[in-house]
Chain A
Amino acid sequence: MSANRWLATGNYFTTYQDEQRIFFTHIDRLLFVAFLASLFAWPLFIDVSNKYMLIFDNILVAVIAVLGLNLVTGFGGLISVGHAAFVGVGAYTVACLAQMIGDQHVIITHFWPVMIIVGGFIGAIFGLIVGLPALRLRHLYLLMATLSFQMIFQWVIGFMDFFNQGQFIYVGRVHWFTGEVGRSNHYEFWYYALLVTAVILSFGVRNLLRTRYGRSLVAVRDNDRAADAMGMHPGFTKVAAFGIAGFFAGIAGAMQAYLNRGAGFETFTLHESIQYLAMTIVGGLGSLPGTFFGPAAIKMLDLQMENLAEWAGHILPSSLDLATGLRPLSFGLVIVLFLMFEPRGIANWWRIVRSYVKLWPFRY
C-alpha cells in the first residue's frame, strides 16, 4: 500500500486485503461522500418540476433492479430476460395485498418499509425457483427458461381475476413521521427513499463481491468446472444469484408500486426486461458503477428519442407511421454500437477518466 493514504498515483497493493478495499485513498472516500451528499442535497436547493423528479425516481428504480440483474448476468454470467417479471412480482406483492386488505390499510400506508422488504423476499423466492433450471442449463437454453417465466408472468397477470386481469391495482399513499406524504412532495419523498435504498444495496453488492460467495460467483462465471474442481458449488452459486437478483428486483418493484401508487400490467412486459438488459450492457456488465450509468443513459436516451419521435410523428405521413420505428431503432442501434465498440460499457469510460485523474500530472 502506498505510504500516502491521501494521494496514490499508482497501484501499491501488497496484500489481498489492500486490493479488496472499497476506497483506495482518502481522497476517493472524500469525493464519494461529497458526491453522495450532493445527491441528497440538490433537491433542497434546486427547484425541479414533478416531471423531472419522476424521471429521477424511475432511474433509481431501474438502478435497484439493474443491481440485481448485473449480479446475475454481469458477475454471474447467467443471462436473464425475465427481469421485469421479477420486478413485477415485487410490485404485485404490494398491490395484491393492498387489494385484499384495502389500499388505505395501515400495513400498506404505515409499514411500507416492511412491505418493500416483503416484496423483495417474494421476488427472491421466485428468483430461486426460476434459477433452478440454471443447474442444468446455460447460455441460450437458460435464456429460454427466463423468457418462459416472463411469458408465464404476463399471462397470469393478464388473465387472472386475482390480479384484476392486468388492470391497475391501487396502492395508498404512505405515511412518514410528518404524516401522510401528499401529492406535493410525493416524488421528492420517493427520490430520497429510492436513493437511500440504492446506496445501501450498492454497498451490499460491493461487500457481497468481497465475500467467499462473491468470489465463487465470478469464478463460476469464468469457468464453472474449474470452480467446481476448486471446491466451490456452482449449482448453489447460480441459484443463489437468481435469488439475490430476484430480491433486488422485488425491492425495485415494490418501490415502483408505491411510487406509481399502484401496479398495472404494462410496466412489466418483455420490452421492459429487454430494457433492463440493455441498461446492464450499456452501463457495463460486471461493473458496479455501470449499474448507475446504464439506467441513466438509457432513460435519458429514451427521453430524447421520445421528443424526436413526437416531432417526427407530427411531420411524417401518419399512414407510414415511420416515427414509431425511431425509438426501437435508436435503442437497438445503441446496444449494437456498444457491443461492437465498447463492450465494457460506459463504466469503462469512467475507469479511463479515473485512471487519468489518478495519474495526473504524471501521465504515461
Chain B
Amino acid sequence: MKRISIGILVSTVILMLAMPVSAVAEEYMIGLSLAITGPTSDAGNPYSKGVEDYFRYVNDMKLLGEDTINYNIRDDKYETAITKRNFEEFLDMGMVFYLNYSTGSTLALKRDFEEVKMPTLPASYHAGNIEESNYIFLPIASYSAQAIGLAEYLVANHDGKTPKVAMYVHPSAFGRGPVEDVQATVKAGLEMEIVEVVEHGKDLDVTGMLQRWKSKGVQYVISQTVQSPVATLLKGASRMNLVAGSFGEKGKITFMGAHYTGGNDLIALAGKAAENFYWTTSFITTSEESYGADAQIALAERYGRDDKTANSHNYAAGIIVAEVATEVIQRAKAKGKEVNKETLYQELLAMNGMNALYSGTAVGPVTYAKDDHQGVDTLQLYSVQDGEFRAVGKPFIPEYTDKIK
C-alpha cells in the first residue's frame, strides 16, 4: 500500500513537472486623452483612429504573444481640466505609458509626468514640452525645427537679395513657440529678414494684411498654425493673384507651413489656392508611393476607415505613437523585464543607434536618448501639385536647430 502511495505521489510530481507551464497573459494599460470632439478635433479624430487601429492590430495579430494592450482613449475636448481628470483616471487604472495631445495640457501636466515618472508622447511638437522634462518625448521634429527647416530651405533656394519673410502664427503657445527660434536662427547667421510676425485672429478676409505684406516686399510666408487660417490666407492671396506659381517667383509670395498647416484637409479647404503651398512634416504622405503609405492605407481598410481618415497625416501621427509604445513593450519583454512605466522609459532612452525604430509612416528613424527627446529628426518638404502633396527633394535635418541651442 505504501509503495502504491509513493508511486502515485512520484507520478503526480512527474506529471506536474512535465505539464507545460501556461504563462498568464498580461494586459498593458495605455491611456490616450485627446480632442475627439471640440476644437482641433479635425486633427484629433483621425489621430485617435490611428492609435486605436494600430493597437487593435497588435492585439489581433498577437504581436505581443498572448499579452495584449488595453488601450483607453478618452475625449478631452481640448480642455486641460478634462485632460487632467483623464490622466488621473488612467493612473488609477494602472497605466504604463501615456499618450497626450495638446500643447496646453502637456505643459500643464508636465510636473505630474515627472512626479509619477510616466513616459509620455504628446501630439504636440512644441519644443517647450521637453524643456526641463525627463518623461516627455516628442514623436517627431519640433515645430521650431520645422519652421527653421522651412527657413533654411527658402534661404538656400532663394534667388536674389536677402529674402523678406513674414511669419503667420496661431495666437497661442503652439503658434508662438517657433518664432523666437527662427529669430535666433537669423541672429545666428541665416540670411533672411523677418519683416513681420502676425498672430492671426478669426478673420475671414485677410486682404488688408496681404496688401501690407505686398507693399513691404514680403516674398515668403512661414505659417505655424492649423489649416483653416492658412486656407483663408491662401484663398485671399489667390484672389489677389499673389501666390507664387513656382518656388520664389519674383513679385509673388511663396507660402510655406509646418506640420499642422498642411495635409489633405488644407487642400479640401483651400482648393486650387493650395497649389504650390510648401509644407514640411516628418510623416510620409499617401499621395507618394511607399511601403509606409501602403501599410497605412491597409491598416485603415482593415478596420473599415473612410478614405479621408486613411489618407490623413494625423492618422499616420496616431500610428507612430502607438508603434513606439508597442515597440518599447516588445523590447522590454524580449529582455525578460517586467513591463512597467520604468522599464518602458528605459527602453525609450535606449532607442538610438542600432536600436532606432524605423517606422514606415515617418521619413526617418525614431531615436531617443537621455539628451534627445525628439523622435524623428528628419523632415520632408512637400508642395501641392495638381491637388496632391508631392515630395520636394530628399528628407533633411535642419542645421540651425543645433547651432541655436
Contact = CB atoms under 8 A, between A and B. Distances in A.
Interface of A: 49-51, 54-55, 58, 158-159, 165-168, 170, 183, 187, 260-262, 264-267, 306, 309-310, 312-314, 317-319, 321, 323-324, 326-327
A249 B80 CA distance: 20
Contacts of B38: 324, 327
B108 A166 contact: no
Contacts of B115: 183
A310 B74 contact: yes
Interface stretch (B41-49, B356-364, B372-380): B41-49
A322 to B, nearest CB: 9
Contacts of A58: 81
A306 B77 contact: yes
B11 to A, nearest CB: 48
Given A262-B108, A264-B104, A310 B36 contact: yes
A326 B86 CA distance: 20
B88 A327 contact: no
B171 A158 contact: yes
18 contacts: A50-B91, A50-B92, A58-B81, A159-B171, A165-B173, A166-B173, A167-B128, A168-B107, A260-B81, A261-B111, A306-B82, A309-B37, A309-B77, A310-B75, A318-B41, A319-B308, A321-B37, A326-B37
Given A166-B173, A327-B37, A55 B107 contact: no
Given A310-B37, A314-B36, A324-B37, A51 B77 contact: no
Interface string B282-314: 000000000000000000000000101100000
A167 B49 CA distance: 28
Contact of A317 (B42, B128, B306): B306
B196 interface: no
Interface string B72-87: 0011010111101110
A314 B173 CA distance: 29
A48 B128 CA distance: 34
Nearest to B92: A49
Interface string B169-210: 001110010000000000000000000000000000000000
Contacts, number: 96
B89 interface: yes
Contacts of B172: 158, 166
Given A167-B173, A321-B41, A309 B108 contact: no
Nearest to A312: B37
Contacts of A167: 104, 107, 128, 173
A43 B84 CA distance: 21
Contact of B77 (A54, A317, A327): A327
A306 B86 CA distance: 11
Interface of B is mostly: helix
A170 B111 contact: yes
A267 B91 contact: no
Interface of A is mostly: helix
B116 interface: yes
Nearest to B126: A167
A292 to B, nearest CB: 20
Nearest to B174: A167
A267 B84 CA distance: 12
A122 B267 CA distance: 49
A324 B44 CA distance: 12
Contacts of A321: 37, 41-42, 45
Given A165-B176, A306-B75, A267 B81 contact: yes
Given A168-B104, A266-B79, A314-B36, 17 more contacts: A49-B92, A51-B85, A51-B89, A51-B92, A54-B85, A58-B81, A159-B171, A168-B80, A260-B84, A261-B112, A264-B107, A265-B104, A310-B37, A313-B75, A318-B41, A318-B49, A321-B42
Contact of A313 (B45, B112, B128): B45
B75 A309 contact: yes
Contact of B108 (A50, A264, A310, A326): A264
B37 A168 contact: no
Contacts of B173: 165-167
Interface centre among A159, A170, A187, A324, by most B CB within 10 Å?
A324
- Which 5 pairs show the lowest CB-CB distances between chains A and B? A310-B75, A318-B45, A51-B89, A313-B36, A50-B88
A318 B176 CA distance: 29
A2 to B, nearest CB: 47
A319 to B, nearest CB: 6
Interface string B51-94: 00000000000000000000000110101111011101101100
Interface in B87-140: 88-89, 91-92, 104, 107-108, 110-112, 115-116, 128
Contacts of A168: 80, 104, 107-108, 110
A310 B86 CA distance: 12
Contacts of A166: 172-173
Nearest to B74: A310
Contact of A266 (B37, B74, B104): B104
A265 B173 CA distance: 11
A324 B41 CA distance: 8
Contacts of B41: 313, 318, 321, 324
A323 B35 CA distance: 11
B85 A55 contact: yes
A191 to B, nearest CB: 14
Interface in B249-308: 306, 308
A183 B116 contact: yes
A51 B88 contact: yes
A76 to B, nearest CB: 29
A267 B108 CA distance: 11
A310 B320 CA distance: 23
Contacts of B111: 170, 261-262
B80 to A, nearest CB: 6
Contacts of B45: 313, 318, 321
